[in-house]
Amino acid sequence: MSAKSLSEWLSYIESQHPSEIELGLERGLSVLEKLNLGRPKVKVITVAGTNGKGSTCTMLTRYLVDAGYKVGTYTSPHFLRFNERVLIDGVECSDAQLVEAFEVIEEVRGDTPLTYFEFSTLAALWVYDRLGLDYWVLEVGLGGRLDSVNMVDTDLAVITSIALDHMDWLGDSIEGIGREKAGIARAGKPVVSGVVNPPQSIADVAAQTGSPLLQKNVDFSFTCYDSYWDWQGLERSFDGLPIPKLPMENAATVIAALLQLDIEVSRESLVSMFEKATLMGRFQQVATTPTLYIDVAHNPEAAGQLKQQVARLNTQAIAVCGMLKDKDIGSVMSILKDTFSEWHFIDLPGPRGAKAAELAKFVSESHCYDNISDALDAAKQAALAQSATVIVFGSFVTVSEFLSIQ
């Protein structure tokens, strides 16, 4: 039998478990033990949160790589290529590395069923172990306590934000969701919380676990001005930092996290990192005629951040929006309804995709399309006529649809 390609492996692992999501560590841990994997030379950094995980991982990785460390960064989901999930020094790993990892996992797992995410996580860890990296930066996929990434004991836990999302899996209260995300904590290892107005459950879990807790607006804080910002706390201060391309709240949390590592943290290095660090789909400018941004914002907290970012543009903005129907569409639309001069809604594919007509109910005037190409054409024409900016947002799926036609 000929060897499987990466695409064939991905089709295969999608078919190996009846559920797309099944939280729990037992299956993955049993296979992880058989793989007999080691740890990075220095530390594991695990990042959980409702929003901001990807940008936090990106900034941490950029700083560490620039400082000369070898870093594996595992994130999800991907837009166009599975390889986007498994980065080595910020660069996608090869098909061959992933295929080899899947072959080894398949050989040792026996009759243990693994979800797509469990297969993916184990593959990333196997690749990183083989390379003998200095740091692993691991993004939690869903929740924290029962997420596959939590198979690995962390040396530094980072919690970016807490909001109501994935309530079918994590519960319908901020306290409950905070408890799940804080489940990445380990005894004696610091927890850096960037959560604004954090639930008490984070402090409770840290205390129960014996993890030193460092909190935004308690142990560290920042002040933002028109063209720069200052950071202070943990017996350090960094003044006159450039406005980062990624969200300020996460940038502030990243500085606190870096200060927990046994590395030099300098203003000069922070300036370089903030000027360079970008992430696909996070208020990313991708065109100039007309100006066009893409953003994966899909819940109320992210919508609030998007509203602020659009306001800083000081131009009219036109929306191209598609969402999943299991998201809090009403709250997102309520936050953003006055942000855009025009709305162009699209149908998203699959059973979770919301129809454009469902989204249109929440705004007074809009246009509906069954595909992103037509919506984009109409929005671009309107933007050119009005000297406006186009914002494509609403879901990872929406941004993936956009990228697929470029």
Q: Which pLDDT value is given to residue 1?
A: 42
Q: Which pLDDT value is given to residue 301?
A: 86
Q: Using N-to-C axis directions, what is the helix angle for 95-109 and 26-35, rounded to 10°?
A: 100
Q: Which pLDDT value is given to residue 20?
A: 57
Q: Which pLDDT value is given to residue 25?
A: 85
The answer for residues whose C-beta is within 8 angstroms of residue 308's C-beta and 6 or more apart is none
Q: Which pLDDT value is given to residue 17?
A: 63
Task: Say which DSSP state 183 is in.
Answer: G
Is CATH 3.30.470.10 what the domain over 6-276 is classified as, yes or no? Answer: no
Q: Domain spans of the chain?
A: 6-276, 284-404
pLDDT tens digits for range 215-261: 999 999 999 998 899 999 999 999 999 999 898 999 999 999 999 99
**How many CB atoms sit inside 10 A of residue 235's CB?**
6
DSSP, collapsed to helix, strand or coil, labels residue 74 as strand
Task: Say which DSSP state 325 is in.
Answer: T
Classify 284-404 by CATH class.
alpha beta
pLDDT of the chain, 406 residues: tens digit per residue: 457 999 999 999 988 765 555 667 889 999 999 999 999 999 999 999 988 999 999 999 999 999 999 999 999 999 999 999 999 999 999 999 999 999 999 999 999 989 999 999 999 999 999 999 999 999 998 778 889 999 999 999 999 998 865 455 455 688 988 999 999 999 999 999 999 999 999 999 999 999 999 999 999 999 999 889 999 999 999 999 999 989 899 999 999 999 999 999 999 999 999 999 999 998 999 999 999 999 999 989 889 989 998 998 989 999 999 999 888 899 999 999 999 999 999 999 988 899 999 999 999 889 999 999 999 999 999 999 999 999 999 999 999 999 998 8
Residue with tokens 């560490």: 64
Could you give the CA distance from residue 57 to residue 41 in angstroms, rounded to a whole number?
18
> Cis bond leading into 290, ω under 30°?
yes
Buried b (16+ CB within 10 A) or exposed e, 310-342: beeeeeebbbbbbbbeebbbebbbebbeebbeb
Could you give the CA distance from residue 271 to residue 327 in angstroms, rounded to a whole number?
36
Could you give the CA distance from residue 100 to residue 52 in angstroms, rounded to a whole number?
31
Residue with tokens 């003998």: 132
Give the closest residue to 31 by CA, choosing from 132, 126, 129. 126
